[in-house]
Amino acid sequence: MFTRITVETNVAAPIDQVWRAYTTPADIMKWNAASDDWHTTKATVDLREGGVFSSRMEAKDGSMGFDFAGTYTKIVEHKRIEYAFGERNAEVEFVPGPKGILVRVVFDGESTHSVEQQQGGWQAILDNFARYVEAKQTKS
């Protein structure tokens, strides 16, 4: 049995910009890292139910890396993305609010790292996402 872990952030931007940044490979490569010493070197997205996605995440010093990949199981445009990765599942909700879009990710934890470590890592990535989208919006 997996522990369900929730992370969330608010993004002060319109839903179309938030959705696009979350689902476009060129954007994913710019925000998908938990810390400054990691980066995403390649991302692919086939945004449809049954479509697959993959992000290659690597330490900038080249010491390690891994592929985060899975299959989309449900897509409700501008509202919800569900996917399976390995034996685990995750749901991403996009909820309009007074200060922009609340992005909530609920995922199945794994047993290698503590809940706190997993929550911290996923939260850091989501916070990067919010900063990226908001900075991009001020430029456009």
Rounded (to 5) percent helix, strand, coil in the chain? 30, 45, 25
Contact 72, 82 (CB under 8 A): yes
Residue whose entry in the numeric block shows the structure tokens 């449809």: 48
Query: Helix, strand or coil for residue 131?
Result: helix
Indicate whether this model's pTM tops 0.85. yes
Q: What is the pLDDT of residues 14-51, one digit of tens each?
A: 999 999 999 999 999 999 999 999 999 999 999 999 99
- What Cα–Cα distance (Å) separates residue 113 from each residue in 2, 44, 55, 62, 68? 12, 26, 20, 22, 16
